[in-house]
Amino acid sequence: MKGRSSVYKHFQDGKKKFAVLVDPDKFTAARVKLLAGKAERSAVDFIFYGGSLLTEDNHDSYITILKENCSIPVLLFPGNYLRINRDCDGILLLSLISGRNPEMLIGKHVVAAPLLKDSNLEILSTGYMLIDSGRPTAVNYMSNTTPIPSDKDDIAVCTAMAGEMLGMKLIYLDAGSGAPQPVPVSMIRNVRKKIGLPMIVGGGIRNSGQAVEISNAGADLVVVGNAIEKDLSLIGRIASAVHELNA
Ligand code: 1GP
């Protein structure tokens, strides 16, 4: 962190939060600017930045646009750790603990370690868990891992507990980008009962009703990407619905 207040502290204040996910492959520069303005006016808590592929060469310029047009912390949500941007506020250092692919558990992290150490980014070590949503998602395919079945709450609970005991700072339950169904509420509730870490939930959330339900089940932070790409006005609606829970 470059003299800024700790991002992790925000996660620990017990308030319900909302993050917008920006996948640069799915945006134009003009739309990133619009999104930044709306997110700022709606007091969005975080902007997550990243995607599974990043096929376009717009990585750095979009982060500049975000930083110039809003004061919201921007956290890298990396599909590829080697694409680091030092103007961001932090990085979710994801270990894909629901899978058994060593590259995603530790391999890529080893390669990226010197760059990360040198970056001054706040490193948020995150136990990342993919939950089956009824159809393969980009992350399933790209990570070459099998998600946790959506009706196996006990596996999700034990995986999250293991992540916590391994010293991770955050747990992220993700149904995957564009998932037909978000992570089941019962699973979120059961994981919440057993772990004390801040919990992030994303994937397939399309409206403020779902965001509120997921927050009430125990998520500290809900993340929405796809639905916002299609309709930027959702930013304000979801932000106020989630933030009302803190009133
Ligand atoms: C995916 O959790 C994020 O990793 C957000 O998913 O794009 O479906 O909102 P959506």
Mutate to test the pocket of ligand 1, among 27, 224, 229 (most ligand atoms within 8 A of CB): 224
pLDDT of residue 55: 63
pLDDT in tens, 131-173: 999 988 888 888 899 999 999 999 999 999 999 999 999 999 9
Give the residue, by CA position, lying nearest to ligand 1 atom 1: 177
Confidence of residue 1 (pLDDT cuts 50, 70, 90): very low
pLDDT in tens, 216-241: 999 999 999 999 999 999 999 999 99
What is the 3-state secondary structure of the chain? CCCCCCHHHHHCCCCCEEEEEECHHHCCHHHHHHHHHHHHHCCCCEEEECCCCCCCCCHHHHHHHHHHHCCCCEEECCCCCCCCCCCCCEEEEEEECCCCCHHHHHHHHHHHHHHHHHHCCEEEEEEEEEECCCCCCHHHHHHCCCCECCCCHHHHHHHHHHHHHCCCCEEEEECCCCCCCCCCHHHHHHHHHHCCCCEEEECCCCCHHHHHHHHHHCCCEEEECHHHHHCCCHHHHHHHHHHHCCC
Instruction: Tell how far the Cα of 204 is from the centroid of ligand 1, in angstroms.
Output: 6
